[in-house]
Amino acid sequence: MITNWLFWTVPEKYAMKYVVIMWVALMLIPYYIFGLHYTKLGIILNLVWYDLIFYGWVKAKQRAEGDE
């Protein structure tokens, strides 16, 4: 699974959802709700974590819809 994720690109139909949720999860919620700022390492780790979670969600959704 991890090797597939490394070379994965976001499908076009999920691109806007990916960008909006990423911005909300990585910037809006931590800053405006909790008043937190990420370090450079924190941004990178959270971006990788978010991308991996989104990859799993898209693959599960594609399997459920039979798109794969």
First to last CA, the chain: 14
pLDDT in tens, 30-67: 888 888 888 899 889 999 999 999 999 999 998 898 87
**How far is residue 9's CA from residue 1's CA, in Å, rounded to a whole number?**
14
68 pLDDT tier (thresholds 50, 70, 90)? low
Q: Which residue has the tokens 């990916």?
A: 18
For residue 1, pLDDT over 80 is answered with no
